[in-house]
Amino acid sequence: MLASRIRFSLGTGALLTVLGVLPLSAAVPAGRTETPDATKDSEATVVVCNHNSLDVVVYAVSEAGRRFRLGIVQRTSDQALNLPDQLADGSTEFRLRIYSLRPSHAAATTRGYLQAVKTNPLSAQAGDEIMLYVMRPLAESFIAH
């Protein structure tokens, strides 16, 4: 795996954009949970290493604007999240959006987000693993693909 460190910045047109507090629809499809069957190895995954002091929620957003909630990653922990099959075909571009949660909003309500960042467009196919390192401050997060 070729790992590259991509620094996120706060400017427009940068690799990562700070979104601020954004309201989200409450009806966001949930990401798939891990399965014990043999197909698990063929799924594309996002491994989130959360080095932030807050929990984060991770979404994948297709180029058409469809949001897929991949999951919540607790502060200072690592978790593998599966990408939906619609995004893991090798040709569909998507962005990851990472939202830090207020400590009192562990249920990830739409008013519970402190700030958010998004990546440049990514693509993945079955078997790929995208490493997402969530840092403090959030804007210093980076990916390795």
Per-residue pLDDT of the chain (145 residues; tens, 9 = 90+): 334 443 443 333 333 433 333 333 323 334 444 444 444 567 999 999 999 999 999 999 999 999 999 999 999 999 999 999 999 999 999 999 999 987 765 555 555 677 889 999 999 999 999 999 999 999 999 998 6
Residue 91 confidence (pLDDT): 94
Residue 74 confidence (pLDDT): 95
Residues 6+ apart with CB under 8 A from 21: 113, 114, 115, 116
Instruction: State phi, psi for 93 to the nearest 5 degrees.
Output: -90, 145
Instruction: State phi, psi for 38 to the nearest 5 degrees.
Output: -70, -15
Instruction: State phi, psi for 132 to the nearest 5 degrees.
Output: -115, 115
Residues 6+ apart with CB under 8 A from 94: 60, 61, 62, 63, 83, 87, 121, 122, 123, 124
Say whether 126 sits in a helix, a strand or coil: coil
Residue 57 confidence (pLDDT): 94
Q: Which CATH number fits domain 17-23+43-144: 3.20.20, 2.30.30, 2.60.120, 2.60.40?
A: 2.60.40
DSSP 65: -
**Tokens 């990653």 identify what position?**
73
Cβ atoms 81, 45 nearer than 8 A: yes
Residue 126 confidence (pLDDT): 95
Residue 107 confidence (pLDDT): 53
Q: What is the pTM of this model?
A: 0.69
